[in-house]
Amino acid sequence: MTRIMRVLAGASVLATGACSLDLTNPNSPTQEEVLADPAGLLSLAVGMQGQFSQTIDDYLVTNSLITDEWGTRSLSLIAYQSLLTGQNFDASYGVVSAPFSNSYAIIKSANTILTGADQSGLGVANRAGVVALAKLFKAMALGMLIQQYEKVPITISDASVPQPRSIVMDTILTLLESARADLATVTDAQLSEFRSQVVGTGFNQRATTDAMLARYYLIAGRHNDAITAADRVPLNVLSVFQYPDPNRNPIENLGIQLRYVAPLRSFVTQAEAGDRRPDYWVETTGPALPANPPDTVLRPFRKYSTRNESFPVYLPDEMKLIKAEAFARTNRLAEALILINQVRTQTSSTVDEPVAGLPAIVLVTQAEMLAEIAKQRRYELYEQGLRWEDTRRFGTAITTTPTFQWLPLPQRECDANPANPCG
């Protein structure tokens, strides 16, 4: 095996959360060799992105089945059906452990990159890019965790103590602000080599960092900060995870290949008359799909129905709706209404995103505006992994009641770590 292949193979091992960093293999480089080699560290960063993009379905399946987005098909696993119905649920199910283990595998990779960045001999631009990327993906992994579990650890050890949401949220925001500061030290021209070697053409690192800041500032209730961050995100740019062969979009695999899940028909029937967005996400005509439970009516996927279809890390109109909600919650109702109607009346876009094509609406009270924002988020941000958190933030303004308020901590975590609040 050549030196570069050994480095790439070692980076792959380090990116696997279930593997010990102390494993000895005479045909693979040690952790120290990988981290001391610039190519090894950059390869680990590539692997970290793949860890997140290839497991996005594990975050979505809980979110979409527990709320009102997806139902289970006749071939579905019992664990998936239990998320939908709330019956026969077990903390040992893979649907409980997968978001947890995936996230900490990503965090482990990010930590390894951050540890090795100063000892690998990276140039200034590559160091800034890879450190900022590691902080971004660590923050996104923690962000996904805190939307699934009520308390989670922020460190990785055998005795890590799960922390409350406020502490985890502070950690997420600190990581994102630090990532943004790292990127501010280099120009786009200086980052061009890093982007071509590590990030790829579909993922916009700067815009994604600001979009995640806007998202998590909103969830944290820091509304002015959310507005400021959202204002920095260009609305004519998409940032996506791509799935070139031999990879495939994990939602397509889950819904089309395995035939485990499909959109609920209620997503279509409950839409406002004339709304174009259900047709963007779902096949709205033709026969229904077989479901289990059999009284559930399902529609086929339209979006994410082909194997190489990309997945947006965020959608541009999420930024408009973040600002609208932040304005509404701080009683700047006129500004909120302008943004609501920008989302409602949009009829075209220069990027691949849903557009509503609806008339403008007249709203007066804060409660009316929050209810409308919740509705617009449902149709604008369908199957983006945000609906479950929206039910907590909007309360009765959302008409669905989630099957579970939170996932329990995985049973194996309860068995392995007495510090976990299980029971």
CB 160 within 8 A of CB 419: yes
Quick one: pLDDT band at residue 417, thresholds 50, 70, 90?
confident
Question: What pLDDT sits at residue 34?
Answer: 67
**Helix orientation angle between 124-148 and 38-53, rounded to the nearest 10 degrees:** 30
Give pLDDT, residue 17.
Answer: 37
Strand positions, DSSP E, 18-140: 70-72
Classify 157 as helix, strand or coil: coil
Residue 285 in any domain: the answer is yes
Note whether residue 415 is domain-resident: no
Q: DSSP for 226-241, please give it.
A: HHHHHHTS-TT--EEE
- CA–CA distance from 351 to each of 95, 236, 319 (Å)? 33, 6, 15
Give me the chain's average pLDDT, please.
92
> What is the spatial distance between Cα 120 and Cα 40, in angstroms, rounded to a whole number?
9
pLDDT digits (tens, 9 = 90+) for 87-135: 999 999 999 999 999 999 999 999 999 999 988 788 999 999 999 999 9
> 56 in a domain, yes or no?
yes
Please, which residues have CB within 8 angstroms of residue 40's CB and are 6 or more apart in sequence?
A: 7, 8, 10, 11, 29, 33, 34, 120
CA distances from 56 to 50, 140, 179, 274, 293 (A): 10, 11, 22, 31, 25
* pLDDT band at 416; cut points 50, 70, 90: confident
Q: Which tens digits make up the pLDDT trace of 216-231?
A: 999 999 999 999 999 9
Q: Mind listing the pLDDT tens digit for each residue in 274-328?
A: 999 999 999 999 999 999 999 899 999 999 999 999 999 999 999 999 999 999 9
CB-based contacts of 189, cutoff 8 Å, min separation 6: none
| 141 part of a folded domain | yes
pLDDT in tens, 14-60: 444 333 333 345 455 666 766 778 899 999 999 999 999 999 999 99
Asked if the structure places residue 368 within a domain, the reply is no
Work out how many domains the chain is built from and give that number: 1
- Residues of the domain holding 79: 3-315
For residue 62, is pLDDT > 70? yes
| pLDDT for the residue numbered 22 | 38
3-state secondary structure labels for all residues of 251-309: HHHHHHHCCCEEEECHHHHCCCCCCCHHHHHECCCCCCECECCCCCCECCECCCCCCCC
Q: What is the CATH classification number for the domain harbouring 97?
A: 1.25.40.390
Q: Quick one: what percent of the chain has pLDDT higher than 90? A: 83
Q: How far apart are CA 80 and CA 262, in angstroms?
A: 12
Element (H, E) at 130: helix 124-148
Q: Is residue 417 part of a domain?
A: no
pLDDT band at 11 (very low <50, low <70, confident <90, very high): very low
Q: Which of 148, 54, 206 minimizes the C-alpha distance to 404?
A: 148
Helix H or strand E encompassing 313:
strand 311-314
Q: What is the C-alpha separation between 143 and 137, in angstroms, rounded? A: 9
Q: Show the tokens assigned to 347.
A: 């009829």
What pLDDT score does 1 carry? 31
Does residue 322 sit within a domain? no
Could you write out the DSSP letters of every residue in 43-71?
HHHHHHHHHHHTTHHHHHHHHHHHTTSEE
Nearest alpha carbon to residue 378 among 357, 361, 394: 394
Is the pLDDT at 159 greater than 60, yes or no?
yes
Average pLDDT of the segment spanning 165-181: 98
The string of DSSP codes covering 334-373 is HHHHHHHHHHHH----SSS-----PPP----SHHHHHHHH
